[in-house]
């Protein structure tokens, strides 16, 4: 089975780093990257696009934040959390975001930046 990962984060430097880390982890055969959540949402809602096995999602982004992205994607995929492991990835998390996490019990987890290769390997191995 080809494992796929999607990274949604507006930080260009983080995007460059995570690309290299995903390549080093050697557990994902497909990787797609988005700077804007709205672009990712548009692509993932396309019937010809399949959901990735894993989404690494930043919370704080301009335009559409991570929470809005999840809510809108769930409308297209009611069983989203059964089809895709979504990890919230951020450099710092406010108390309000910690509280918001409780509203999304289906999230696969929370990861603090910077992510390490070992974490990506674990995530890749945990994918069905």
Q: How long a stretch of residues is the chain?
A: 128
Cα–chain center distance at 51: 11
Segment 75-107, tens digit of pLDDT: 999 888 899 999 999 886 677 777 787 788 899
Class for the domain spanning 4-126: alpha beta
Predicted confidence band of residue 68 (pLDDT cuts 50, 70, 90): very high
The residues, any chain, with a CB within 8 Å of residue 68's CB and separated by 6 or more, are 37
> What global pTM score does this model have?
0.93
Q: Which residue has the tokens 């797609």?
A: 32
**Residue 4, beta-bridge partner list:** 30
């Amino acid at each position: 089975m080809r494992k796929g990962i999607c990274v949604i984060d507006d930080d260009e430097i983080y995007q460059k780093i995570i690309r290299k880390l995903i390549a080093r982890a050697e557990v994902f055969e497909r990787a797609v990257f988005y700077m804007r959540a709205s672009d990712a949402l548009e692509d993932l809602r396309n019937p010809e696009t399949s959901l990735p096995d894993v989404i690494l999602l930043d919370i704080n982004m301009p335009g559409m934040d991570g929470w809005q992205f999840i809510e809108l994607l769930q409308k297209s995929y009611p069983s989203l959390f059964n089809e895709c492991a979504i990890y919230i990835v951020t450099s710092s998390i406010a108390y309000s975001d910690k509280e918001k996490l409780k509203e999304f019990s289906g999230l696969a987890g929370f990861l603090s930046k910077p992510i390490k290769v070992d974490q990506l390997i674990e995530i890749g191995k945990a994918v069905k």
